[in-house]
């Protein structure tokens, strides 16, 4: 779909949660790499429905999009240990509120450090050195583990610690949610944005009963608000 596609590289591993961002990231990777494996983390998140959505997205991508033919093995990692370490609103029934330091209390300290380190350990065994994730500095309430400085420092630490040169690619790092919808459209046209709208999941509350023009969710949590605003900005551009 891209006007000028770069030549395909070999293999990549995408951190794929089933959210809007990682779904667009996955499309981005599928159009750049011959083989794209996916990894997801089950950490007892309240929006566990995400893990169901991600399976639907994977099967629909494989069935309906010719550029998704490079989809390889999917890996689900049991990371419920996170709940053991950190009680936060993502893993408990607390309301989503801002903590004293300005971070949402959904903050699991350094979560993305763990995700990428585990992904790299798995990639090591599978001969993959390109890790791809949907982190972005723009929309994530200032999560420090989504910042580019953090991610690139981590790529260096992982490369040193595994004695193999890894790269971490974050194509959405400087995009806002409207730009992510736009990128999805560029990558896969209206059929793909429709897939994102219908099947990707953002809502912190795990709500998939209420339907909005931007997809399903509670419509009130910060993730839904962000998604709604981005969708509106994209539609009205």
**What is the Cα–Cα distance from 11 to 28, expressed in whole angstroms?**
13
* Shortest spacing between CB 147 and a copy of itself, in angstroms: 7
Alpha-carbon distance of 11 to 44, in angstroms, equals 29
Q: Which is nearer to a copy of itself, 156 or 235 (CB)?
A: 156
Element (H, E) at 28: helix 20-30
Shortest distance in whole angstroms from residue 143 CB to a copy of itself: 9
Counting contacts by CB under 8 A, is residue 3 touching a copy of itself? no
Which residue in the set 77, 178, 218, 232 belongs to the binding site for a copy of itself (CB under 8 A)?
A: 77
* Total chain residues near a copy of itself (CB under 8 A): 36
191 vs 197: CA distance, rounded Å: 10
Rounded Cα–Cα distance for residues 43 and 94 (Å)? 16
Binding of a copy of itself by 57 (CB under 8 A): no
Check binding of 125 to a copy of itself (CB under 8 A). yes
Strands (E), the chain: 9-15, 33-42, 71-78, 130-132, 167-169, 211-212, 215-216
Q: Does 173 bind a copy of itself (CB under 8 A)?
A: no
Contact between 150 and a copy of itself by CB under 8 A: the answer reads: yes
H/E stretch holding 198: helix 177-199
Is residue 141 a contact residue for a copy of itself (CB under 8 A)?
no
Among 61, 114, 187, 228, binds a copy of itself (CB under 8 A): 114
Which residues on adjacent β-strands are paired with residue 169? 132
Return the bridge partners of 15, or none.
39
Site for a copy of itself, rule CB under 8 A? 77-79, 81-82, 84-86, 103, 108-110, 112-114, 117-118, 120-122, 124-125, 144-145, 147, 149-150, 153-154, 156-158, 160-163
């Amino acid at each position: 779909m891209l006007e000028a596609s770069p030549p395909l590289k070999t293999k990549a591993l995408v951190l794929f949660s089933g959210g809007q961002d990682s779904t667009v990231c996955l499309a981005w990777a599928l159009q750049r790499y011959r083989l794209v494996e996916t990894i997801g983390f089950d950490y007892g998140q309240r929006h566990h429905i995400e893990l169901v959505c991600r399976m639907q997205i994977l099967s629909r991508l494989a069935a309906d999009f010719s550029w998704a033919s490079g989809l390889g093995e999917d890996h689900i990692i049991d990371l419920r240990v996170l709940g053991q370490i950190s009680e936060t609103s993502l893993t408990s029934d607390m309301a989503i509120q801002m903590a004293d330091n300005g971070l949402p209390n959904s903050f699991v300290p350094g979560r993305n450090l763990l995700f990428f380190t585990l992904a790299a350990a798995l990639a090591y065994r599978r001969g993959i050195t390109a890790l791809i994730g949907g982190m972005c500095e723009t929309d994530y309430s200032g999560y420090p583990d989504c910042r580019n400085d953090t991610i690139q420092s981590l790529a260096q630490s992982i490369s040193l610690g595994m004695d193999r040169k890894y790269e971490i690619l974050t194509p959405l790092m400087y995009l806002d949610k409207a730009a992510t919808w736009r990128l999805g459209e560029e990558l896969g046209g209206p059929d793909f944005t429709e897939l994102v709208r219908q099947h990707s999941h953002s809502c912190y509350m795990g709500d998939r009963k209420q339907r909005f023009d931007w997809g399903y969710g509670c419509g009130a949590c910060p993730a839904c608000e962000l998604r709604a605003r981005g969708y509106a900005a994209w539609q009205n551009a």
